[in-house]
Each structure stands twice: as structure tokens, then as C-alpha cells.
Amino acid sequence: MIAKITYLIAFSFFSTMIVTTPHRHLRTMRGVDLADHGFGGRLMTSLILKRLGIGLITVLAVSVIIFFGTKILPGDAAQIRMGQQATPENVAALREKLGLDKSYVMQYLTWLGNFVRGDLGISLSSDVPIMNLISDRYKNTLFVSVLTAIIGVPISLMLGIMAAMFPGSLYDRILTFISVTLVAAPEFFTATLMVLLFVFALGIGNAVVVGSVEGKGFFELIAHFALPITTLSFVIASQLIRMSRAAVLNVMSSPYIEMAILKGVPRKRIIFRHALLNAIGPIVNVVALNLAYLVTGVIVVEIYFGYSGLATLIVQGVQTRDFVLVQGLGMIFCLTYVILMLIADIAAYASNPRLRHPK
């Protein structure tokens, strides 16, 4: 069990690496002034197309790893689905029906083809189409992550940028202390603090998220998910604050910022007009990584507050040896990463005047 979870974690980490690597590669490519060599307006389009291509290759590569990675695990899908009592004949019949008697390559192609059409197969443990399992859960995940993003991201960025405006000040030091503490604190610890503070000390909110989201209005939903959203906001805030502060400070040491100081430009304008424009690239990157985490990595928070989302679903899949479920969710997580990183990269390209306005 532990081995399997380790495997799963290593596996998702590996996929993430693949997703982010081509992006770094392109980043260095930008250092070469392609724009200076008369590539013209096609440059931006060709870069985006190239990036799309890399994203597609990444998804395919991850699909290979997911499919054959789950095949390595012991156990046979037909056997698992039929249970211990099944006769060999029954199992063989199901194997044939599921296409498990065909070669791995054929199985992979069929599986990939079904995935493209939106058919993720049927769960081994519950005989329900995976799509149904997921659609029950994604509403919770989506609501929590979107709200966390809407509340957490802008506040964190503002705090980080303000820290960069006054580096070394009391405000900066306090914020650094808090955000470093939060980075170090595990999610369940932050969650416990939230529960202690709000539920027991202040008497507001629920320690456990119970009941269906059906039929609830927007504000009822916020109250419903208040504590998980707060906890997750703290978790992503720490990294976003550190990174946006570092990105802006990095730009603040450029000669053009010194020039702005020597031109008598006020500090506020230096940050918001001169520095921020050039820090967009690294900042959108961190934001995208954190958003991907909100969709795929919030296992502890989901379990702690007892609401069911996508992250707990994949853990359940591993526990029940439901390979088909793990495969489907793995692909969905991969797509989430690839799409978010794609958006971040295109935003970074768009913020680069050399690409937007070639010579």
C-alpha cells in the first residue's frame, strides 16, 4: 500500500517534470534574440505552435507512462472485477470482452482512442463508468480551487509585491517570517489551526464539510467550503508571496530600475509601471503551478475536511487496485498541468515585447 502510494507520488512528480521541462527549454531559447533576425510577426505564432506541439508530445509521453506504468502493477483487471470466486472461464470471457487478450500496444491504442473520445472506461471496483465517478467529484474540486484562486492569488501577489517595494522593512520581515513558516507547515497542521481558531475559538464554520452541494446558493457554498478554501489559500499564498517578491526584487536590481530612480520616478510607479511588466513571466509560471496543485494535489485537505474531490478519488483508485480509474485520473491531471503551463507560457511570451513587436 505504502509502496503503491510512493509509486504514485513519484509518478505524478515525474509527469510534472516532463510537463515543465520543455517550457524551460523554450525560456532559454528566448535568450537568443530570434526577434533580431528578421523572423517578423510569424515569430510569436510559430513559438506558440511549437509550444502546443510540445504540450501534445508531453501528453502522449505521459499517457505511455501511465498506461504501461499501471500495467507493471501486479493483478489482472478481469480478475479484480470478477472477484475471488470467479471461474477461470468467466474471467477469460471478461478478458476477451475488455480486450485484455490483445497485445499491450493494441490495448494502449484502444485506451488512448477511447480517452480522446471522452470514454475513460469502467471502474474495476464499482462497475460504474469512470466519467460518472469523476463528474460527482469534480464539482467540489472545481468550486474549491476556483474560489481559492480568486481569493488567494490576487491577495498573495499584492502582499509579495508590497514586500518587494520595501525590502528589509519590518513589514517585509514579518511577511517573510509568516510565509516561510507556512511553507514549512504541512497542510494538516494549517488545517488544524484553522479549525481550532474558527470552529473552537470563534465558533464559526464547520470542522467537517458535510452534506451535498446540490441546491445551495453561491454564498451558502462559500460558507460550506469556507475552511478548506482558507486553508488552501494559506498553502498557496506562502509560495506565491515568496516567488512574486523574488521576481519583482530580481527586476528591481536591473540597471533600468536604477535609471528610473535617478530620473526621480516615485517608488510606486517604479514598481507598477517599470518592474511589474518585466516580472510577469516568472509570476504567471508560479501561479499556474499552484493552480495545477489546487486541482491535483489537495489530497490531505480533502481528507481532513471530509469532502470528496478528485485528489481523494485517485487515492481510492490505488487502494482498491482500480487501474482504470488511476489511468483516467492520471490523464486528467496531466492535461490540467499541460494546459495551465501552456497558458502561462503564452502569457509570458505575450509579456515579452521582443516577441510581441519584432523588428
Partner 1 sequence: MTDSPNQNEVIFEAKNLQISAIRDDGSELPIVKGVDFKVKRGEVVALIGESGSGKTTISLSALGYCKPGLKFAGGEALLLGKDVSKMSTDELRPSRGINVAYLAQSAAATFNPSIKINEQVTESPVLHKTKTQAEANEKALKLYHALELPDPENIGDRFPHQVSGGQLQRLMAAMALCGEPDLLVLDEPTTALDVTTQIEVLKAFKQVIKEEGAAAIYVTHDLAVVAQIADHIVVLYSGEVKESGPTDIIINRPQHPYTKRLMNAIKPLPEAGQGESSSDEYLRKDPALATKDVDAGYGGLDADGAPKIPVLRDINVAIERGKTVGIIGESGCGKSTLARVMAGLLPAAGGEVLLHGETLPPALANRTRDQLQKVQFVYQMADTALNPRQKIADILGRPIEFYLGLKGAAKRQRVDELLDMVELPRQFADRYPHELSGGQKQRVNLARALAAEPEVVLCDEVTSALDTIVGANVIELLKRLRRETGVSFVFISHDLSTVSNFADEIVVLYAGRVAEQGSTDKVLSPPYHPYTRLLVSSVPETRIGWLEEASQTREAKAGVSGAVKLTKQGCPFFERCPLAIPGTCETIDPPQRLDGAGHIIECHREVSELGG
Q: Considering only residues 150, 269, 306, 319, which one is a binding residue for partner 1 as defined by CB under 8 A?
A: 269
> At closest approach, how far in Å is the CB of 354 from partner 1?
5
In Å, what is the CA distance from 312 to each residue of 88, 187, 200, 206, 211?
A: 33, 15, 26, 20, 17
263 lines the binding site for partner 1 (CB under 8 A):
yes
Q: Does 105 bind partner 1 (CB under 8 A)?
A: no
Cβ distance to partner 1 smaller for residue 31 or 74: 31
Minimal distance in Å, beta carbon 43 to partner 1? Answer: 11
Minimum Å distance from CB 277 to partner 1? 4
Q: Please tell me whether residue 260 binds partner 1 under the rule CB under 8 A.
A: yes
Query: Which CB atom, from 74 or from 264, has the smaller least distance to partner 1?
Result: 264
117 binds partner 1 (CB under 8 A): no
Q: How far is the CB of 19 from partner 1 (least distance, A)?
A: 26
Q: Rounded to the nearest whole angstrom, what is the least distance from the CB of residue 214 to partner 1 in the complex?
A: 47
Q: Does 353 contact partner 1 by CB under 8 A? A: yes
- Give the shortest CB-270-to-partner 1 separation in angstroms: 10
Q: Assess 196 for contact with partner 1 (CB under 8 A).
A: no
Where does this chain touch partner 1 (CB under 8 A) — which range of 57-65, 121-129, 270-278, 322-330? 270-278
33 part of the interface to partner 1, by CB under 8 A: yes
Is residue 354 a contact residue for partner 1 (CB under 8 A)? Answer: yes
**168 near partner 1, judged by CB under 8 A:** no
Binding site for partner 1 (CB under 8 A): 32-38, 254-256, 258-266, 269, 273-274, 277-278, 351, 353-354, 357, 359
